[in-house]
Structure 1
Amino acid sequence: MNRHPIAVALRALRQTVLGPDARPERPLLARWPGPARYAAPVGLLAALGLFLITLTVESDWGLPPPIALLFAAMTVAPLLALPRRPLLAWRLTVLALLICTFNAPADQAWPWTPPLALGSIAVLAVVVARVDRPVLAWVVTISTVPVLTLVHPDNRVPVLLLLGALAIVGDLIRRNRLSRHALDAQAELSEREQERRAVLEERTRIARELHDVVAHHMSLIAVQAETAPYRLTDVPAPAAAEFVAIAASARDALTDMRRLLGVLRSETSGPQTAPQPDLTDLDTMVDAARRAGLPVTLDADPVDDDRVPAPVGLAAYRIVQEGLANAARHAAGAAVRVTVRAGRTGLGVRVENSPADVRPTADGGTGHGLTGMRERATSLGGTFTAGPLPGGGYAVAAELPYDAEGGDR
């Protein structure tokens, strides 16, 4: 793009005189929706009053009625266009200042009627706060033409000073508005980035935990496959070769998973050596919540380790953990019920709380707990629901299939 000063000035002049009038970013009274409802009728009544005042003044100055009507209309038209088309309103104002002057009395200090003079100042004040600097420079320059050619020499300096003051204040207002919009856009972008990062961190944590669980079972498979020919008697040679192949495949899978885990882990987090929790740890977690003052009731089926896979047990534990944390945060004092049911093809988990006795604290949390629970359920092929209860309170529920095929069914 050509940034030469002359080219910029010519482009701004074309925009000022003939260019399209950009719509304002927000209405003038957008911050006050109550008064904004009455802005249109009040504005029309004010325009009608100015029209009648101008018509009376022009008639007193001896203009024929048709010309007086024309001048009164030219005085009011810029004010009607000002809310949505400020640049067009300024153009109409300049025309009115140049045309509606030849009938002023000789002893009149100003060549314009009071409504036209005050209206032109209002239009200029709005325009200088809406346009960029190159257009602003042309607007102020062109606005001085009626002043220098029609205003009495004794009054020109105050008017020119007023134009300069309006230009400076309008530019400051526009720059302040642009700065606020830039800050709002940056804050919105930062919030979206924070949400995306929280989701990615939760997915990474889930992947790490699944790796730790699956790696344990893969290690057992490799060890059992390697030792099977020594523990069993009269193992045929083909079967022994199959055991060796199974052990090799298991170790290859472990190598790939460790390589994947190296990508997932951050530089500051080391390997997780502690055993991952499962359904057998629900009682311990519920007891800790009770000691913290949260009234919790646990209704869980007996755990069958052969029936419930480790990833399902881990996901169920984390969902209950996050559900209790949300209940403590958003429904302090409410009774909480945790239900865990082991079905034929999957595990059902539900955490619900009664209506809160007190209002929640100002700290509402990060807002990503439900996202993490849903990620855990869907990563196993299950479903997750959350929402308020009809009689008050809140509930989260997840269906975790024992395998992907069962979840699809």
Structure 2
Amino acid sequence: METIGPARPRNATGPLRTLLTARETPRPPARRRFMMFVLPLGLLALIGLGLAADRYLADNRELPAIVIGILAAGSVLPMLVSYRLPVWAWRIAYPMMFLGVINAGRTEPWPWNSVQILGFLFVLARLAVTQSSGVTGWATAFSLVPVFLFAPDANAWGAAVLLVAIAGVGDIVYRRGRTSELLAAKLAEEEELTELERARRAVLEERTRIAREMHDVVAHHMSMIAVRAETAPYRLPGLPADAKDELAGIAVSAREALTDMRRLLGVLRSEEAEPDKAPQPTLADLGDLVETARSAGVEVTLEATDLGDGAAATVGLAAYRIVQEALANAARHAPGEPVTVEARGFPGRLELAVRNPLRRPGDRPGPATAPLAGSGHGIVGMRERATLLDGTLTAGPAGAEFVVHAVLPLAQEPA
């Protein structure tokens, strides 16, 4: 069944179902209102119970005592229930309007006793101030039925006007309360948005501060490296050709690092800024990566077979970064040792293997090699790249070699 909630029904049958069949969630009791509402109402209910029973006895309806007790309880019980379940209170009070006319004389101005009349008006008012206009409208329409069926014509129209007036005033109170709730909710939402905006502003300020410090410190030193490498042949006459070429390569690497840093700083300074677009490396760039490693003094052999051009861009980028990181690790931990890079394509997968001899304690240090740029994540970063593509990566000693082995699906994009 439906649950009665604060939302307004969208059609005529919705309020009707809410009034007649929906499961009503009890309204939470307000502690401050308990002493002001429940206790006085309970006292009035006890008094009303006695008055109702006395009224039925005074009317000489010749009813059994148990029936009189049920009718008297039914006259006051809905008022108590209305505190937390106003719809259920109306559901109890409404049938009592038909039962309350049992053995009523046709000459009586009202077939109901005064306690029942006041109790029903109270229940209708309580429903009107807590439920939507549609529910109140249906309840009022149903309430007019016993009035015109059992009340004398002279009093029926007056009673109908009173019912409609009470329901109308209650609905006005309900609408004002709903408007206040909506305004309060909107103000709370605006305050929350303000808090989020302040948090975002704080994050942006912190990112700007980090970008400023990176620019002032790191970028300055990188610029000095590039400038000194470029001007060294002019400041130091007589340098060999190999040294000039090496300095030129250092200058190029420094300039490329500065370009990458400017992209990063642009993202840090503004959350709306986007990094400069640049072509990402693919499998076809493995040869250039190996040549860069060779120029840095690493003895590298590349064995690439059946790579084709069917690999997704994400697979090519991941393969390039894995090989780049593996070469950087080999140059760092086993300088001077030969490195073999194997890249082989198979149906549905690409296998990569980067091998270099393990250096044992006591081995003579190899010749110095220039440090190679990696991703900065080491084996963890390589494994994450493979996992994102539903691939696998292992890295560790295998006999006398250290082997990085990766298997990447060729056609699968990351989730």
Same fold (TM over 0.5): yes
For residue 300 of structure 1, what is the aligned residue in structure 2?
none
Mapped partners of 1:11, 1:264: distance in 2 = 46
| Structure 2 counterparts to residues 17-166 of structure 1, below 5 A | 17-24=20-27, 27=29, 30=30, 33-37=31-35, 39-62=37-60, 63-105=63-105, 108-166=108-166
Q: Which amino acid aligns with 1:164?
A: V
**In structure 2, which of residues 256, 264, 270 is the aligned counterpart of residue 257 of structure 1?**
264
SS where residue 84 of structure 2 aligns? Answer: coil
Mapped partners of 1:85, 1:181: distance in 2 = 20
TM-score (norm 1): 0.56
Distance 1:10 1:256, change over 3 A: closer
Mapped partners of 2:167, 2:41: distance in 1 = 25
Aligned pairs, number: 255
Distance 1:261 1:22, change over 3 A: closer
SS where residue 12 of structure 2 aligns? Answer: helix
Shift of 1:72: 0.9
For residue 207 of structure 1, what is the aligned residue in structure 2?
207
Distance 1:258 1:92, change over 3 A: closer
Mapped partners of 2:131, 2:36: distance in 1 = 27
**In structure 1, which of residues 12, 15, 22 is the aligned counterpart of residue 15 of structure 2?**
12
Shift of 1:245: 4.2
Mapped partners of 1:222, 1:247: distance in 2 = 7
Identical amino acids, percent of aligned pairs: 23
**Gaps in structure 2 of 5+ consecutive residues:** 1-9, 274-415
Larger radius of gyration: 2
SS where residue 172 of structure 1 aligns? Answer: helix
Deviations 1:49-84 (A, max 9, x none): 211121122122233312211211211221222112
Distance 1:241 1:123, change over 3 A: same
Distance 1:154 1:212, change over 3 A: same
What is the root-mean-square deviation in Å for CA atoms of aligned residues? 2.7
1:198 correspondence with 2:198: yes
Mapped partners of 1:265, 1:94: distance in 2 = 62
Mapped partners of 2:197, 2:11: distance in 1 = 42
Deviations 1:303-344 (A, max 9, x none): xxxxxxxxxxxxxxxxxxxxxxxxxxxxxxxxxxxxxxxxxx
Deviates more, 1:10-19 or 1:116-125: 10-19
Distance 1:184 1:38, change over 3 A: closer
Q: Is the 8 A contact 1:221 1:247 kept in 2?
A: yes
Mapped partners of 1:55, 1:115: distance in 2 = 10
1:240 correspondence with 2:247: yes
| Structure 2 counterparts to residues 163-174 of structure 1, below 5 A | 163-174=163-174
SS where residue 129 of structure 1 aligns? Answer: helix
1:220 correspondence with 2:221: yes
**Gaps in structure 1 of 5+ consecutive residues:** 1-6, 267-409
Q: Which amino acid aligns with 1:52?
A: G
Q: Is the 8 A contact 2:225 2:251 kept in 1?
A: no
Mapped partners of 1:132, 1:39: distance in 2 = 22
Distance 1:112 1:197, change over 3 A: same
Q: Is the 8 A contact 1:208 1:264 kept in 2?
A: no
Distance 1:142 1:71, change over 3 A: same
Mapped partners of 2:38, 2:266: distance in 1 = 68
Mapped partners of 1:12, 1:35: distance in 2 = 28
Deviations 1:35-56 (A, max 9, x none): 4246444433332221112112
Deviations 1:90-144 (A, max 9, x none): 1221211111123345553221111101101100111122222332222111100
For residue 406 of structure 2, what is the aligned residue in structure 1?
none
| Structure 2 counterparts to residues 362-401 of structure 1, below 5 A | none
Deviations 1:282-311 (A, max 9, x none): xxxxxxxxxxxxxxxxxxxxxxxxxxxxxx
Shift of 1:193: 1.1
Mapped partners of 2:124, 2:33: distance in 1 = 23
Mapped partners of 2:128, 2:41: distance in 1 = 21
Deviates more, 1:77-86 or 1:256-265: 256-265
Mapped partners of 1:154, 1:195: distance in 2 = 63
Q: Is the 8 A contact 2:24 2:85 kept in 1?
A: yes
Distance 1:166 1:44, change over 3 A: closer
